[in-house]
Amino acid sequence: MAIDSKLKSIISRFEFPGTLSGCRELKTGHINITYALRFSQADGTARDYVLQRINNYVFKKPWEVMENVQLVTEHIRLAMIRQGINPENRVLRLVPVKGGGNMAEDGAGGYWRAYDYIVHAVTPDKAESPTQFRQIGAAFGQFQSMLSDFPIEKLHDTIPHFHDTRKRVGDFERTVALDVARRAAGVREDIGFIRSRGEAMCRIVDMLNAGELPLRVTHNDTKINNVMLDADSGEALCVIDLDTVMPGSALYDFGDAIRYGASTAAEDETDLDRVSLDMDLFAAFSEGFIASTASRLTPAELENLPLGALVMTYENALRFLADYLDGDTYYKIDYPTHNLDRARCQCKLLTDMEAKRDEMYATVARLCRRYA
């Protein structure tokens, strides 16, 4: 692609070795503007990098996001070295800005950062097999394990109350009462479903507040495509997309991965008979995650991992329904009832999880006995 002068100016701010020989925009992702860069080296080889413009509408304080990313990636890198693991291609490495720092401002309110490109890797959008999903679980488990001794007070809370379920329940009730889009009358049954589970779904927040669960570094976006897999072996290489890293509970990361990756249907499936929890995928991810964390997480965390799946599914159902009632102001939609369909899909998934709750807990308990 042709490179305009503004982009060239930004690229020149970073300490990229070699001569720029290629640039293309990457269309994956919906938050940041991303480019893949290639630099030719003096020895005839090439090195690839990722350049991103941080969306500072979503992330109001990008410097705090970048401080979190820098601290977490450095901690993981050192942990790998101590364990005899070569961190090359296995943890994101920020490219320094000339003169210091890891972020460049473009003079027009834009903030930019650059990473080494994770080479010879793929990012699937959906688990192709239980074996692959086990690798995803191992990657997010290793992420937790490597950061289990991280001093949590050093992290910025970049999105306050992100998983404060009790606050979200209160916000939901205010949304219902205001009913700005005049839609509440048509979804009374859906509202009742959310209300009937509100108190039970605040359990993780209550346990954190009571000190029964520790605060951990959490990724907060544990989708399958945020793990890079080796293109040949399928082995998990690197956890990416660290913009939402902040203090939270390990149960949130486990739970959101299950909600997204172990469902038998898309997040907006309208045929609710197709929506359920795939227990083979649940068991596979759980094994990978627990094998990597059994010696690091507390017994209370390990035994309550299935609660994370229930809470995260509930929270997403609540958020989709609230946005529908609010006139679809937060999530992008493709048609007028898109958020309502998303909410009902998550409610159906939660109902199936509730039916399989005992099996979920039994699976986790068995795996904890094996790996603890």
How far apart, in Å, are the Cα atoms of 275 and each of 34, 212, 313, 348?
33, 33, 13, 7
Residues 46 and 93: their CA atoms lie apart, in Å, by 17
CB-based contacts of 94: which residues, under 8 Å, 6+ apart?
66, 69, 70, 73, 102, 113, 114, 115
Cβ 52 vs Cβ 112: under 8 Å: yes
Residues 346 and 360: their CA atoms lie apart, in Å, by 18
The phi, psi pair for 157, rounded to 5°, reads: -90, 85
Residues 322 and 339: their CA atoms lie apart, in Å, by 9
pTM for the predicted model, two decimal places: 0.93
Residues 155 and 292: their CA atoms lie apart, in Å, by 23
CB-based contacts of 195: which residues, under 8 Å, 6+ apart?
none
pLDDT tens for the chain, 372 residues: list them.
Answer: 567 888 999 999 999 999 999 999 987 654 678 999 999 999 999 999 999 998 877 788 999 999 999 999 999 999 999 999 999 999 999 999 999 999 999 888 889 999 999 999 999 999 999 999 999 999 999 999 999 999 999 999 988 889 999 999 999 999 999 999 999 999 999 999 999 999 999 999 999 999 999 999 999 999 999 999 999 999 999 999 999 999 999 999 999 999 999 999 999 999 999 999 999 999 999 999 999 999 999 999 999 999 999 999 999 999 999 999 999 998 889 999 999 999 999 999 999 999 999 999 999 999 999 998
The DSSP 8-state label assigned to residue 96 in this structure reads P
CB-based contacts of 116: which residues, under 8 Å, 6+ apart?
47, 48, 49, 50, 89, 92, 93, 95
Question: For residue 24, what are its two tokens?
Answer: 């293309």
DSSP codes, 154-169: GS--SSTTTT-HHHHH
Question: For residue 231, what are its two tokens?
Answer: 């293109």
